[in-house]
Structures are given as structure tokens and as C-alpha cells.
Structure 1
Amino acid sequence: MKRILIVKVTSLGDIVQALPVIADIKRAFPGVQVDWAADEAFAEVVHWSQSVDRVLCAPLRRFKKARRWADFKAIAASIGDLRAYRYDFILDIQGVYKSAIIAFLARSSRRFGYQSKDLGERGAAFAYSGRFGPRPLGNAWQGMRISVGEVLGYQPEGPSIYDLKLPEADTAPFGTAEVGDAPVAALFHATSKDDKKWPVDHWAEVGNELVRRGFRIVLPWGSAGERAEAEAISAKVPGSAVLPQMSVTEIARMIDACALVIGTDTGFVHVAHALQKRTVMIFVATSPSHFGIEAPFRSISIGDGHSVPPVSEALRAIDYVHMDPATAGSAAHPAAAV
């Protein structure tokens, strides 16, 4: 086994949670080269991994939106990089048309993808010479590790290894916001869909409790609407700071400087988990058992995915991720914390 190509083109949280597949492969096959194909919009995230040997990217999302000639030329040029090597295996762990096209264009006789019922777009099946086994029950992230291991002939062992190293920067991690010496808690209130939001008053109640516990609260945002919501929460939490607009990598650096991250089911909360921060993920309209995070006494998911979790559940989760595992005892199991 010399070289493998992973195809996972989007999105932030999905790419971050797929990165442990690389550590599994390299543990099973020492010396193997692992390349990764991603949309240009998320290529910087893959570059955070110290285990990826080559990152291949093209502006697929941008071309779909704007249909610009320059983006089309960039996509065409990227095909040469994609075909520079012959791969022993190509593993499409995305399962949509654009990932299947990438898998088809790359050079290999062994292209694997999901079974038709597990594909995001069933037409993607044209690209594959083989299929992963039935999708494992439970967490999607562990399922990816299992599916790849079945194809390559090994069993993934132990917790997920993300192996991230963020680029260094001269700027302060919180931009122009003054946070002082207090531990910082970031509240990721923004979501991709309105039905995944947690109420502003709930965020304010949690924020005020954290202030009482000695934390400084910061509120990131990415759009005008998200900024307005951040300001609404900040107005109810004395001493909190609405952060300046930041790039993806700048937000990741900010997360790495935090003592606690609380957020809805969104990509940056997965980043916090991968960076081994104390993390609470709140589920309102998506499945915590399928998309959630969990690490003993460090990360936990709350909510049933069908209703709005109460503030009391979030506070119990915060207590849980701050427990000392040496003294917590059996009562501190996540099932007892939520």
C-alpha cells in the first residue's frame, strides 16, 4: 500500500470529523501516503491536519454559485493535480455527485463509495468499482472509521485522533476584544438553519451563570443576522464581548484559546471538540446520537433532536465537562449528566 485518496469535499464539521480516518489508515499501513480532495472553501481545514500528505482542491462551491470562467479554469487545472499519481484506493466518504466525479477522474481501479441507500445523491454510484458495507448504526463519525477499515482490512481502535496543528499568527486570538485574564467561554449561537437555534434568553441565562462562575463570555458571528443575535445576547450578559468578524482559521485559533465552548450543532463546535476543548453541543432539530460529540469529562451533546433543551440541562452538561475524572465516580457518566 503506497498511496490512498480520501474524497470529502464539504463541510466544516464533516471534514473535521472525518480526519481521524487518516490516523487509522496510517496506523494500519505505516509509511502510506494519504491525499485528501476537498472543496477550496474548506481546504484550509484539511491543511490543519498534520497527517495529510497532499491537499487537492478546486472552487466547486464558488463555481456553482457564480459560474465564473476563472473558477472553471481553476477546476480544469486541478484535474492535473488529481491525476498526478495512481492510487491504490480511492475512498469517497461524501457520497454526492461532485465527490463521485472527483473519485472517477482520479487514477485508480479501486474506487469505493457508499451503498446506494446510504448515498447523499444516488447517481453518485456511477463512479465506484466497490462499495462500503452497510452503514454502521450509531454515530456517523465512528461509522466512517468503520466503513473505511472494512474496505482496507483493519479495525479502527481507540478514540478518534484528529492530529490538528493550527497556523501560527501574530494577532491576538480574540481580535480587538478585551478579555483580561479570566477564562473565556465562547457561545456559538449561530446555525445554518433557524430550526437548529437555541433561544436568545437561554443563551443569556447560561452566559450570566458562567459570568458568576468567573468566565468572560465572547460571541462570534459570521453574517449580519448572526451579529445582531450576538449583540442581543451580549446586551443581556454584562461584560460579554461581541467579537469582530473572523476567518475560519482565526475562529479556530480563538477556540483554541478558550477554556469552554458551548454551541449548537455547527461546524465550529466540532472544531472545539477536535481541539480537545471542554465542549457542550446543543441539539434542537438534529440527531445527537448520529451527529453528536462525546469524550469523557470533556465533550458532551445534549438535547433529543426534537425539542429545545432547557437551560438546566446545559448547566448540568457544563458541570460534567469540568469534572475531575479521578474523583467524579460512576455518577458522572454522561447519562447522569443530562
Structure 2
Amino acid sequence: MNKYLIVRFSSFGDIAQAMPCAVIIRQQDPDADIHWLTRKDFYDFVKSLPCIDRVWGLERLHGIKGLISLISDLKKENYTHIYDAHSNLRSFIVCSVLRLNFLKVNIIRRSKNRLRRLLLFWFRKNYFPSPFRGAISYKNPLKKWFSKIDFPPPIELAVETAPLSLPQDFILSSAIVIAPSATWELKRWPLEYWSQLVSSSPGYNFILLAGKDDVECDKIAEDNKKNVLNLRGKLSWVQSAKIISLAKTIISGDTGVMHLADIMGKNTIALIGPTAFGHPTRATSKVIETKVYCRPCTKDGRGRCINAKYKKCLRDISPQMVTNQLKAMQK
């Protein structure tokens, strides 16, 4: 029996996009023992993927000592295959030590294509696939293990038992999930646009998903108290996944919420601005974007806007454009 280890520590969106890889491994090698190494705060989220047999959680606050201790435990597992889906220093250390321990282990790695990134962001020469679909980039390295692989059908997570506390009269199956925030401000659709979108759609009930620190998102709910349920900072990753799985449509920028909705096959509206690697994969996801000479200009939203009109690529996506797409999806 083959034993696989997938290494992806974070983030929520990247883990979501890498999840189909575990499904592919299970399809190609049904008797395999599949493990996943992630950050401790994503442990329950990864564990909700049914095809994963064991999850290893790295507590980042424990630093190098915690990493050494975890590697010591991993050395006992006799892995035959390791997929480094993170390609950072920690994953390199893990894979290097395990390679010394298991001389015949088959290790593959998802390249970050640093040279191509340099050419794109410094010299405006784009040699990446256009559009760049992150989930596909995670899948491609598996071709070194399996001769023929197809992208799997929508992923179902075991989140049905996750507790939710919603108003009794709230119908989740007809709700529209919105995710107004993002880790980096540069890739956030303007807050006032979100308010306009919701206020111009009184016939829909919206659920607002955001992190506990995204207090600016409260204004959307305050301006639209009748049709917005504000769950900012109230849900775990698993509870958020349950909300996404049950909702009718998801609207988001380049965020983990959007990428999870995409790989779950949900009706998704993706608002893509300056980021180079944020496009969804499935046909159920519809992208709204504008042609601006300077995009893409960032890998994940870090950096500064170089356009004379700040965030023009996102500001040119009007609330009416999103409303029209939302209405089209409800037919």
C-alpha cells in the first residue's frame, strides 16, 4: 500500500484549491493511505475532506522546536510519496529530512515559478497561462505520478454536523453569500459598491462572511439591516464551509471563500482585479473583470496600485454589472 503526504500549511484559499489533489490521489490509488500536513488552525478544515486519512497540524507559535518535533513523528510514517504543495522554507525542510529518512520516497513539488513572476511583476512580461487557475496549477504536478488525471467533480466536505446559529426564519438555501474583505486591501472591491449591490437587491437575503478584524464590513450590514445577516468573526473555517455548501450563490473577490465555493461547484461570482493567480476553475463560476493595461500587478494583493485612478481594475466593475450577473444566475 502506498502512503502519501500532502504538504500545504496555509492559507484557506490555497488549501481549498489544493484539495482536489487528494481526491485525485484517492481516485488513482483507491487503497492509498493519504495524510495532509497543515497549520494547526486549518486542521479541522482539512479533516473535513473525506478522502484524507490523517491530518498533521503544525502549531506555528511553537517555532522551530515544534517543526522538529513534528518531523520526528513524520519520520515514523514510512511515506512512499510526498507532494510539497507549498514550496516554502518549512515545507523544504520537512521534505528534505524525510527524503534522507525514506531513501526511495517519491517527492514532487509545485513550483512557484519565481522567474516568471519576476518577469511579470518587474518587466510586464506574462508567460503564465491566461487566465491562471490556481486549482489547475496544484493538479499539474500529479502528472509525474499518474499518466492520466482529470479534474475531479465538485468536492463535498463532511461539514454537515458543524453547528450553526441562524435566525429561525432564515432560509439558507436561497441566501447569497458575500465576502467583502480580503487579506490585502488592494484586491478588495470598494466597500460602498458592496452596499450598493445589496441595497439594489431587496429581493435577496445576504450572508456576510468576514474575519473578526474586518470591522469595516459591518457598515454593509448597518446600511442594509433588513436583508443582511452579518456573521463577521462568528464562524470557524468549517462553519464557513457549511454556509458556502448550503447557500445558493457566492459573490467574492480573490478570497478563500471564492476558491472554496468554486471547487465545491457552487454558483460563484468572482470579482477579479489586480491579482495574477486568482481565477476560479469550474464552469459554475463566472468571472467579472475589466481590461486595464496594468493588470495583473500583484500575486496576492500586496504592493501598491500604479494606476492614476486608484484600483481602477476593481472600481470599473460596477455594482450594476454584478447585479446583472446575479440575476442571470438565479434564472
Match of 2:195 in 1: 204
CA distance in 1, matches of 2:113, 2:260: 29
8 Å contact from structure 2 (residues 4, 35) kept in 1: yes
8 Å contact from structure 2 (residues 5, 81) kept in 1: yes
Q: Does 1:184 align with 2:172?
A: no
In the TM superposition, residue 28 of structure 1 has moved relative to its aligned partner by 1.8
CA distance in 1, matches of 2:26, 2:161: 26
Match of 1:282 in 2: 271
CA distance in 1, matches of 2:244, 2:164: 14
Match of 1:266 in 2: 255
Structure 1 residue corresponding to 2:184, chosen from 177, 193, 208: 193
> What SS class does the counterpart of residue 51 from structure 1 fall into?
coil
CA distance in 1, matches of 2:129, 2:140: 7
Structure 1 residue corresponding to 2:280, chosen from 286, 293, 299: 293
Query: What amino acid sits opposite 1:295 in the alignment?
Result: R
- Equivalent residues in 2 for 1:162-177 (5 A)? 162-166=155-159, 168-172=161-165, 174=166, 177=167
Task: Say which structure, 1 or 2, has more relative contact order (CA 8 Å, 6+ apart).
Answer: 2
CA displacement, residues 259-309 of structure 1 (integer Å, 9 cap, x when unaligned): 22111111122222233332112122213xx3211433x322222455012
CA distance in 1, matches of 2:41, 2:116: 20
Structure 2 residue corresponding to 1:89, chosen from 68, 81, 99: 81
8 Å contact from structure 2 (residues 24, 151) kept in 1: no
Name which of structure 1's ranges 3-12 and 135-144 shifts more when overlaid on structure 2.
135-144
8 Å contact from structure 2 (residues 177, 209) kept in 1: yes
Match of 2:102 in 1: 108
Match of 1:243 in 2: 231
CA distance in 2, matches of 1:167, 1:279: 21
- Equivalent residues in 2 for 1:19-58 (5 A)? 19-58=19-58
* Paired-residue identity, %: 20
CA distance in 2, matches of 1:139, 1:53: 27
- C-alpha spacing 1:26/1:255, structure 2 compared with 1 (3 Å): closer
- C-alpha spacing 1:300/1:81, structure 2 compared with 1 (3 Å): farther
8 Å contact from structure 1 (residues 89, 108) kept in 2: no
- C-alpha spacing 1:192/1:179, structure 2 compared with 1 (3 Å): farther
CA distance in 2, matches of 1:136, 1:219: 32
CA distance in 2, matches of 1:256, 1:115: 30
> What SS class does the counterpart of residue 49 from structure 2 fall into?
coil
Q: Does 1:140 align with 2:134?
A: yes
Match of 1:124 in 2: none
Query: What amino acid sits opposite 2:140 in the alignment?
Result: I
Q: Does 1:303 align with 2:282?
A: no
In the TM superposition, residue 178 of structure 1 has moved relative to its aligned partner by 6.2
In the TM superposition, residue 117 of structure 1 has moved relative to its aligned partner by 4.1
Task: Using structure 1 for the length normalisation, give the TM-score.
Answer: 0.76
8 Å contact from structure 1 (residues 139, 292) kept in 2: yes
Q: Does 1:16 align with 2:16?
A: yes
> What SS class does the counterpart of residue 158 from structure 2 fall into?
coil
> What SS class does the counterpart of residue 147 from structure 1 fall into?
helix
CA distance in 2, matches of 1:199, 1:79: 43
- C-alpha spacing 1:247/1:91, structure 2 compared with 1 (3 Å): same
Query: What amino acid sits opposite 1:166 in the alignment?
Result: V
RMSD: 2.8
How many residues align? The count is 292
CA distance in 1, matches of 2:244, 2:171: 16
Q: Does 1:153 align with 2:146?
A: yes
8 Å contact from structure 1 (residues 262, 269) kept in 2: yes
> What SS class does the counterpart of residue 25 from structure 1 fall into?
helix
Q: Could you list the structure 1 runs, at least 4 aligned residues long, displaced by more than 6 angstroms after superposition.
A: 134-137
8 Å contact from structure 1 (residues 23, 161) kept in 2: no
> What SS class does the counterpart of residue 292 from structure 1 fall into?
coil
Task: Using structure 2 for the length normalisation, give the TM-score.
Answer: 0.78
> What SS class does the counterpart of residue 19 from structure 1 fall into?
helix
> What SS class does the counterpart of residue 176 from structure 2 fall into?
strand
